[in-house]
Structure 1
Amino acid sequence: MSLRTMKVVAAFAGAAVLLGGLGACSSERTEEPMAEPTVDAGETAAPEEVAAGGLIGIAMPTKSLERWNRDGSHLEGLLQEAGYETTLQYADNKVDQQITQLQNMINQDVDILVVASIDGTALGPVLADAASKDIKVIAYDRLINGTEDVDYYATFDNYEVGQLQGTFIEEQLGLADGAGPFNLEPFAGSPDDNNAKFFFSGAWDILLPYVESGQLVVPSGKSPASNEDWASIGIQGWTSETAQSEMQNRLNSFYSGEAKVDVVLSPNDSLALGIAQALEGSGYVVGEDWPLLTGQDGDQANVNNMIAGKQSMTVWKDTRTLAAQVATMVDQIVKGEPVEVNDEETYDNGIKVVPTYLIPPKVVTPDTIVVDLIDSGFYAEGDLDL
């Protein structure tokens, strides 16, 4: 077997190992089980089945969030190990910059574009140019809206992310047993991120009935009447600083005297960092009056906050599995094989339903950090304040 063939086989066999580990955490919302990965770690690809290689463009939104650094570097590494050339660009959360980067990749004659968009509604014209040159497009974790020129979408089950957060709150507070009232402050993600509405809807479908019954009270009044109003409490750009400022304003304005917030619905870890800083600045003390605080992504700073008692949980999306699945999809496109998807109904971008591969997320709590994050190799023990 040639060195090139050995590298391709090893890379995608490794991807299959990561994907194979997902079977134990299937989504409750999806009736059909998640599809098994197309490449099994025990299989050996025939030389004629090995990808011919080519140039793959990878567009990521920003380096300012830990998870996008992990996504970009891991996907690039998998593709390079498999014999592909790559061009990886980060756009500093600037839409115009991402459009320019995509246009440059198109001018480089990339074979495939993998795009984690900043604004999922702004890429139509540049992707039309890609389509005119027969460049296939995979939307990475964020759906690209308003265009027919997106071919596939790979993401985590984002509605399930919210469901896991909402269920955690429900169980921890004993809401199903009639406990309450508790003071809740809900947050939502960036209004220009298509995923944010799924995160919020998943959680709000569980929590809104308790708000309506009075078991959960929102003193700030920032309580969307329905899922459709989620953007009214969205934090633009997912920034910790904006979330901190917003939480501080709510605490200063609505929690005078003895009133305390009991639970904060944060859709991701970046917002949770800012919220925790606002709580600490307002005198909340871990072990005394610190509220439940949710999150998502398993970022290192947030895992350390969980260890310190400042965050109650995170919904972990193992970005290695997403990168591995996208690498497999790239390979299938290049080979001209059917591209593996497991959802062809849910993700309507306003022009078309985009064929999608969904990966289930998983709740991590302080008690499961070692098993879930260290034993899996996602973090080394020395990375965390254990």
Structure 2
Amino acid sequence: MDKDNETKKENLKNDHKNTVKKPKRKRVQIDPEYQWESLHHKSIRMNERNVNQNLHDEHEKSHKKRRLTEHKMMVKFAIGSIIFFVFLLFCIFLGKRIRSGINETQEVSESSSTAADENTPTGDESEEETTASKYLIEENVAPPNDIENLDIIGGNGELIGFSFPDQQCEKWMLMEKQIDKVLHASGYNADFKYAVEQPLEEGPSVEGFHKDKLVKKQIEDIEELVKEGAGIIFVAPGDVSSEALAAELTQVKNSGIYVVAIDHVPMRTDGVNFLFGCDDYHVGETMGNYIVDALDLKHATAEEPKTAEIFTGDMSDETLYFRFPGLMEALFPYIDSGALVIPSGQIELEQVSTLDNSESEAYERMKELLAEVYTSGNLDAVICIDDVLAGGVSRAMAEAVMDGTYGGTMPVITGDGSSEEALDRILQGKQSMSVFYDPAQYAFSITELVDDIYHGTEIEITDAEMYQNGAIVVPAIELFPLVVTAENYEDMIVDTGYLHTKALLD
């Protein structure tokens, strides 16, 4: 019985055992991507805790990455804002500058228009209207000078005086327009006076009546500039050898006023602080170097030499005592070697000078040389010390070629001054070159010199030994001469605005 009971219990136990099922494991819902990441990199059994930890880590990485991106965007936005703000300020500044320039132009135009309305030109007044309109043409047509690039501090209305010899000389008239413009833009005032406002009266000689009259008027002009309060006076001496002018300059300098000679050194006076401009020695040297290059003298020989003749001005013009040595300094090595020959034998200053610096005298001398020396030979160059002489020489050469009395080639002809006639001859092939005095170059350099003097800035002296005038050695502040030829005419004369300014004098 007991045995049967035990057997039943055992059977019931087994039946119950067979009927009890194992509880199922709870399934965790996870992101398959993160699960795969964990399974791939971590060889651990997945469960709810470590899966959630992986999710938390990944979300932290995502948040950090998003924050970093946001920070970068904020930095870029800040930099962009700063750049935009700076650009906006620049545009505002530029707009003010442009409006200021427009307003100034309008004021000038309105004042000119008002003056024209109030004073309708008739008869003699028509000439004044023409002058005013020409000035406006210059302002509107001529290329602007880049005054902002000047190395200056600027003035406060100080008066700068200029004493020029002859108002009919294009060189001084053109310089006045440029110098006046740049000085005023730099804060200085300028007053220009001319010893002779009309062509010089005909007199018996250069040393006679009209030069005395010119010097007397130039002294009066200088004295008037002193009374007006000019602190610096630039003087282009009408007669470098005048004792009266020399005495006046000494008196002015001793009174504490700076005296600056332009281009030419006044002789036998200590009344000059500086020589400024394209000095005579370097003008002569420039012509000589041009001849060396034009005739290729470096490759010429005594067996096959080049030929030349020389024309200078009147012996009374003491500028020749600097200009002629500069010319010969460049030519002497080739004359000594035989590479350059002067067939006429006329090489001394007394032999090559031209009375009164006259075009007609140069014309007659050139005709004589062609008839006596060049009936069969060739003339390679005629070195003329200025454009007036070059005009006479060119005319004689053209006539000789036309009538067949000269069978050689047209020679190289030099000149100085870039006068209107000379520029025409250069374009026509009747003159080879002319020394050019750029008014804009003078204006900028004069303004810098004025500013250096007034503000005590160190002045750069280019030559402190050469210019002994019989009383002192005059320190030189040099501008080196430029050369105009047919090849560079467009760059030197047209593109610089020189023609526009020059047209105002016609």
Query: Structure 1 residues 138, 237: closer, same or farther in 2, change over 3 A?
Result: farther
Task: State the shift of 1:148 in Å.
Answer: 1.3
- 2:308 alignment partner in structure 1: 184
Cα displacement string for residues 34-67 of structure 1 (whole angstroms, at most 9, x for unaligned residues): xxx633xxxxx5xxxx423233321112234322
C-alpha contact (below 8 Å) 2:263/2:276 kept by paired residues: yes
Letter in 1 for 2:476: T
- 1:86 alignment partner in structure 2: 191
What SS does the aligned partner of 1:346 have?
Answer: coil
Letter in 1 for 2:388: S
- 2:353 alignment partner in structure 1: 234
- 2:453 alignment partner in structure 1: 333
Q: Larger Cα Rg: Structure 1 or Structure 2?
A: 2
Mapped to 2, the partners of 1:90 and 1:272 lie a distance apart of 26
Mapped to 2, the partners of 1:312 and 1:13 lie a distance apart of 29
Letter in 2 for 1:250: L
1:217-232 to 2 correspondence within 5 Å? 217-224=341-348, 230=349, 232=351
- 2:423 alignment partner in structure 1: 303
C-alpha contact (below 8 Å) 1:53/1:85 kept by paired residues: no
Letter in 1 for 2:310: P
- 1:292 alignment partner in structure 2: 412
Task: State the shift of 1:260 in Å.
Answer: 4.9
Greater Cα offset, 212-221 or 288-297? 212-221
Cα displacement string for residues 158-179 of structure 1 (whole angstroms, at most 9, x for unaligned residues): 4343333223323333332235
Task: State the shift of 1:308 in Å.
Answer: 0.6
- 2:330 maps to which of 193, 202, 206: 206
Please provide the CA RMSD for this pair. Answer: 3.4
- 1:164 alignment partner in structure 2: 286
Query: Structure 1 residues 303, 147: closer, same or farther in 2, change over 3 A?
Result: same
What SS does the aligned partner of 2:160 have?
Answer: strand
Task: State the shift of 1:120 in Å.
Answer: 1.7
Task: State the shift of 1:278 in Å.
Answer: 2.6
- 1:372 maps to which of 450, 471, 492: 492
Greater Cα offset, 256-265 or 135-144? 256-265
Structure 2: where are the runs of 5+ without partners? 1-95, 105-143, 201-210
TM-score by length of 1: 0.75
What SS does the aligned partner of 2:410 have?
Answer: coil
Cα displacement string for residues 304-352 of structure 1 (whole angstroms, at most 9, x for unaligned residues): 2111110112233323212321232223333444444333233222222
What SS does the aligned partner of 2:488 have?
Answer: helix
Structure 1: where are the runs of 5+ without partners? 18-36, 40-44, 225-229
TM-score by length of 2: 0.59
Mapped to 2, the partners of 1:74 and 1:13 lie a distance apart of 9
Higher helix share: 2
Cα displacement string for residues 263-296 of structure 1 (whole angstroms, at most 9, x for unaligned residues): 1011222321222123234445899732110123
Letter in 2 for 1:310: K
Q: Which has the higher contact order (CA 8 A, sep 6+)?
A: 1
C-alpha contact (below 8 Å) 1:189/1:267 kept by paired residues: yes
Mapped to 1, the partners of 2:170 and 2:367 lie a distance apart of 24
Find out whether 1:358 has 2:490 as its counterpart: no
Question: Identity over the aligned pairs, expressed in percent?
Answer: 26
C-alpha contact (below 8 Å) 2:163/2:193 kept by paired residues: yes
- 1:38 alignment partner in structure 2: 151
- 1:279 alignment partner in structure 2: 397
- 1:116 alignment partner in structure 2: 236
- 2:166 maps to which of 38, 55, 62: 62
Moved over 6 A (4+): 285-288
Cα displacement string for residues 148-206 of structure 1 (whole angstroms, at most 9, x for unaligned residues): 11111212254343333223323333332235344421022454555433332232123
